[in-house]
Amino acid sequence: MSQLSPLEPGKAIRGGVPILFPQFGNTGNSVRHGFARTSQWGYSKAASTASKAVFELSSSEATKKLWPFDFSAIYTVAIDSDRLSMHLKVSNTGKAPLEFTPGLHGYFSTLDIEQTQISGLNNVKFRDSGIGDWLSEPDELRIKSVTDRVYLDTGHPIIVKTPEKSLSITQSGFTNTVVWNPWAGSAKEIIDMGDMDYKNMICIEPAIYDAPKSLPPGESWSGSQEIVHTPNNKDG
Ligand code: TA6
């Protein structure tokens, strides 16, 4: 979580897991990365437990100004001793079909991005910020410059090894995975991020990017990400 992130209504946080809906980035006609990340979700006390919190967001006059469709979304986040599970369910409550490109824009910390390696995304097709499709490296991914990749095929699990921990990340329902680090140049242009913060973060984001999800009236879609954490030592 960036120290410079203004925790203000209507502003996305630079950290945690912003929920991207109804669109990832600029893939649709609504606002960049959608309005769900800046909306006030309702907390469902009845559905939540000691280790599981359930939140809800439904279409309203305000959301219809940004995206003219009826929907309901339920976000469930559960924690266990070594794992975090996030689950997003979207239902079409209207009469018209929905098309959307959701994502979970998770920021992960690392003590040193240059000592961080990501496996599970080797030898697969990725799209690089609109400049074309490429085949990824045969080895682990190491971030050494600005990186903004949409992996079109996703390996399972994705293993992120940082100096202090190992994360095993799996996803379902989401067909793509985005990996982002702005590196020094772009980090300077992001006002809610410190100039050096790029050294200590990596975003690994399950998403639907290249082929929007179509949802007929009355139907639902679900996507999830699960992260299992193993410290490199007992204090990690
Ligand atoms: O998920 C990667 C990305 O779409 C990048 O292109 C990068 O700009 C990042 O999200 C942050 O977007 P934001 O709107 O939060 O500044």
Report which protein residue has its CA nearest ligand 1's atom 6.
Answer: 148
Nearest to 34 by CA among 105, 109, 102, 91: 102
Choosing from 27, 131, 180, 191 the residue with most ligand 1 atoms within 8 A of its CB, the one to mutate for a pocket test is: 180
The Å distance, Cα 18 to ligand 1 centre, comes to: 11
- pTM of the entire predicted model: 0.96
Nearest to 105 by CA among 209, 3, 194: 209
Is residue 196 a contact partner of residue 112, using CB atoms and an 8 Å limit? no
Length of the chain: 236
**β-pairing, 103-104 with 19-20?**
antiparallel
Could you list the pLDDT tens digit for every one of the 236 residues in the chain?
999 999 999 999 999 999 999 999 999 999 999 999 999 999 999 999 999 999 999 999 999 999 999 999 999 999 999 999 999 999 999 999 999 999 999 999 999 999 999 999 999 999 987 678 888 888 999 999 999 999 998 877 999 999 999 999 999 999 999 999 999 999 999 999 999 999 999 999 999 999 999 999 999 999 999 999 999 986 55
Supply φ then ψ for residue 163, to 5 degrees. -60, -25
Give strand pairing partners of 90: 73, 221
Give strand pairing partners of 74: 56, 89
